[in-house]
Amino acid sequence: MNFTYLIPSGNPVETEVLFENDDDGRSRIRKRYASLACAKCGKVDEYAALSLGVDPNVIVRTKKDYFGTFDHFDCVSQRLRAILEQANVSGVGFVELPKSRSYSILVPKFRVHVDLATSAMQFRRKPCPICGRYQESTGYPPLRSMELPTERLVMFMPDFLPEKSDARMAVWIASEDVVKLLQDANITGIDWDAF
């Protein structure tokens, strides 16, 4: 079975899930997630954070069905969510935005193991001694470095993601039957030729 990376096309929408600006205009972790921040490097487990809910001032305005936020969460329109739910695509869950309820953040139900030795990813400096995350890493883990699922209709995330200084970058991968489903429905916002 073939798999495809779901890469949002164009620019991310101008909103952040994890961060907000303080009174001086500096970006900081939202208060509701502050207790999750690593004492050493300040990073937060993005998907543990979502289990604490999403702030009402995370507002989205876009016509796309698939898009990313500034802090690297991939999101879908209500139309795309309904397509995935009706087809019973496994591996993916949804967190609805409380004040932009026609959009949801995609949440992984499982992550597949990446063999870092064959991943060809690159890492800056040593990992954080407390949470184990790198300050920055680049490259997408290739499929050959992963233990791939066998379901026909599945979406998943690798268990090792590229790191930016603020957050991990969402990397969603879909089976070819899911890709066909999305292409038949003329889903917008995915760069099908990114890889």
Residues that bind Zn ion (CB under 5 A): 38, 40-41, 128, 130-131
**Smallest separation, CB 152 to Zn ion (Å):** 38
- How far is residue 192 from each of residues 8, 9, 46, 109, 180, measured CA to CA in Å? 9, 9, 26, 23, 11
The dihedral over CA atoms of 59, 37, 136, 70, expressed in degrees to the nearest 10, equals 0
Q: Residues 160, 38: contact at Cβ < 8 Å?
A: no
Nearer to Zn ion, 82 or 130 (CB): 130
CA–chain centroid gap for 145, Å, is 19
Q: How far is the CB of 107 from Zn ion (least distance, A)?
A: 22
> In whole angstroms, how close is the CB of 135 to Zn ion at the nearest point?
9
**Closest separation between CB of residue 37 and Zn ion, Å?**
9
Residue 38 or 59: the one with the smaller Cβ distance to Zn ion is 38
Residues 6+ apart with CB under 8 A from 95: 50, 54, 104, 105, 107
Q: Find the shortest distance in angstroms from Cβ 146 to Zn ion.
A: 25
DSSP 3-state of 34:
helix
In whole angstroms, the minimum distance from the beta carbon of 48 to Zn ion comes to 14
- Identify the DSSP state of 30: -
Of 87 and 131, nearer to Zn ion (C-beta) is 131
Counts for the chain of helices (H) and strands (E), in that order: 4, 12
Beta bridge partners of 108: 92
Across the strands, what pairs with 173? 5, 156
CA distance 75 to 64: 10
